[in-house]
């Protein structure tokens, strides 16, 4: 397993990270533990979760993902050698079940969220604590364009950073990161950290895949120059790039079969582009899933690719991508498709 530096921190992480948002919804606790065991055996030491998980978010399942991971950590005798990442939820009326829907990135909410996560995860510290999405009005979760809005009720970035600094000082957090963030937001956090002598963001967790390369436009340069690398989520666009949904297929128990809320990745342009990527992989004798993952992992601004699975067979396939090096012909084919079908799933 390849290992990479996490930003400017003293931590190295595996180039593949185990995503866990299916634990508690599509995966039982025993299935979750089996995935964790297999990932660990393959050399993955980086585990990503969130207080909001599993997804889709429901009041009756919220927190189960962290609980399953915490139980697994206890069963294996602790968390030595592991890098554990979780996230605090930002504001949203669709999360009324988290702190009564009043969740903001302020001191009361961040401290309450962290303490609850620590309890569920059965640990005394988090290696990487991330802001799941911005507190302010901006474009994320597939929203295009920027609609100016009144931000008077948004928590200032400096206030949020100050709270995180105190939690680092208290030893509850080792390092901090952002997620679903914009170039402006990331640079402001980095500038404030430098100006005020506060902890620096070491990573940014945003969507990135063959169907969504928008990270390259403004954030890739920041990731490299500022050493704040990408933790790429949805590298398979929720499984779309495996090709399993082409031609109207809806496999039993697959995410799109069970939940209709993920149409961000299933529009006609995405399907057209996916069919071309799958055909490209097959022409070169490659597994489409492994080709898509290997491409993401090979990008110079990527610190780790977050893989997720609902079965051990899927996980095994994902793990195999780390040993795949794409040749020039495959890269050229990918770029050709991207030129014709750029970013169909923002």
Mean pLDDT, to the nearest integer, of 186-202? 98
Q: What is the DSSP letter of 200?
A: P
- In this model, does residue 187 exceed pLDDT 90? yes
Q: What is the pLDDT of residue 22?
A: 97
- Rounded to the nearest 10 degrees, what angle do helices 157-169 and 107-121 cross at? 40
| Cross-strand pairs, 26 | none
Question: Any idea which of 21-25, 139-143, 224-228 has the lowest mean pLDDT?
Answer: 139-143
Q: What is the pLDDT of residue 261?
A: 67
Nearest-angstrom CA–CA distance, 215 and 346: 10
**pLDDT band with cut points at 50, 70 and 90 for residue 152:** confident
Residues in Cβ contact with 174 at an 8 Å cutoff, skipping those fewer than 6 apart: 9, 11, 125, 126, 127, 128, 168
Nearest-angstrom CA–CA distance, 289 and 17: 16
Q: Are 22 and 49 in contact (CB under 8 A)?
A: no
CATH superfamily to which 3-238+301-324 belongs: NADP-dependent oxidoreductase domain (3.20.20.100)
Mean pLDDT, to the nearest integer, of 316-345? 97
Q: What is the DSSP letter of 79?
A: -
Percent of the chain with pLDDT over 70: 99
Mean pLDDT, to the nearest integer, of 312-336? 97
Segment 289-321, tens digit of pLDDT:
999 999 999 999 999 999 999 999 999 999 999
**pLDDT band with cut points at 50, 70 and 90 for residue 104:** very high
Q: What is the pLDDT of residue 204?
A: 98
Q: What is the pLDDT of residue 264?
A: 76
- Rounded to the nearest 10 degrees, what angle do helices 268-283 and 328-340 cross at? 160
Q: What is the pLDDT of residue 262?
A: 66
**pLDDT band with cut points at 50, 70 and 90 for residue 251:** confident
Nearest-angstrom CA–CA distance, 99 and 135: 15
The pTM of this model reads: 0.96
Nearest-angstrom CA–CA distance, 222 and 208: 15
Average pLDDT, the chain: 95
Segment 47-79, tens digit of pLDDT:
999 999 999 999 999 999 999 999 999 999 888
Helices (H), the chain: 29-41, 64-75, 107-121, 157-169, 183-196, 215-225, 255-258, 268-283, 288-298, 312-320, 328-340
**pLDDT band with cut points at 50, 70 and 90 for residue 190:** very high
Q: Are 231 and 205 in contact (CB under 8 A)?
A: yes
List, by residue number, the catalytic residues: 53
Nearest-angstrom CA–CA distance, 291 and 79: 32
Mean pLDDT, to the nearest integer, of 217-227? 97
Mean pLDDT, to the nearest integer, of 105-131? 98
Question: Any idea which of 131-145, 193-207, 209-223, 226-240 has the lowest mean pLDDT?
Answer: 131-145
Residues in Cβ contact with 236 at an 8 Å cutoff, skipping those fewer than 6 apart: 209, 242, 289, 292, 293
Q: What is the pLDDT of residue 145?
A: 87
Nearest to 39 by CA among 320, 319, 322: 319
């Amino acid at each position: 397993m390849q290992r990479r530096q996490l930003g400017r921190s003293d931590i190295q992480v595996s180039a593949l990270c185990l995503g866990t948002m299916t634990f508690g919804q599509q995966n039982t606790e025993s299935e979750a533990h089996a995935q964790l065991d297999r990932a660990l055996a393959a050399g993955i030491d980086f585990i990503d979760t969130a207080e909001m998980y599993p997804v889709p978010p429901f009041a009756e399942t919220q927190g189960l993902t962290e609980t399953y991971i915490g139980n697994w950590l206890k069963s294996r005798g602790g968390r030595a050698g592991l890098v554990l990442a979780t996230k605090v939820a930002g504001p949203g009326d669709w999360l009324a079940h988290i702190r009564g829907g009043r969740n903001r990135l302020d001191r009361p909410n961040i401290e309450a969220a962290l303490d609850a996560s620590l309890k569920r995860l059965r640990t005394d510290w988090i290696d990487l604590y991330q802001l799941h999405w911005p507190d302010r009005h901006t474009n994320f979760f597939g929203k295009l364009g920027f609609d100016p809005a009144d931000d008077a009720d948004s928590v200032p970035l400096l206030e949020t950073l100050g709270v995180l600094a105190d939690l680092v000082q208290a030893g509850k957090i080792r390092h901090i990161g952002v997620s679903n963030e914009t170039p402006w937001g990331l640079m402001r956090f980095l500038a404030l950290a430098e100006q005020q002598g506060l902890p620096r963001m070491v990573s940014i967790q945003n969507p990135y895949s063959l169907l969504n390369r928008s990270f390259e436009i403004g954030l890739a340069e920041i990731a490299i120059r500022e050493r704040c690398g990408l933790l790429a989520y949805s590298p398979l666009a929720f499984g779309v790039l495996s090709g399993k949904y082409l031609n109207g297929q809806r496999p039993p128990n697959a995410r799109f079969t069970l939940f209709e809320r993920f149409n961000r990745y299933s529009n006609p342009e995405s399907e057209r582009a996916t069919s071309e990527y799958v055909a490209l992989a097959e022409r070169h004798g490659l597994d489409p899933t492994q080709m898509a993952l290997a491409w993401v992992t090979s990008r110079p601004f990527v610190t780790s690719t977050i893989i997720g699975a609902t079965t051990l067979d899927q996980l095994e396939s994902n793990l195999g991508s780390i040993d795949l090096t794409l040749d020039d012909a495959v890269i050229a084919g990918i770029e050709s498709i991207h030129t014709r079908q750029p970013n169909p799933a923002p």
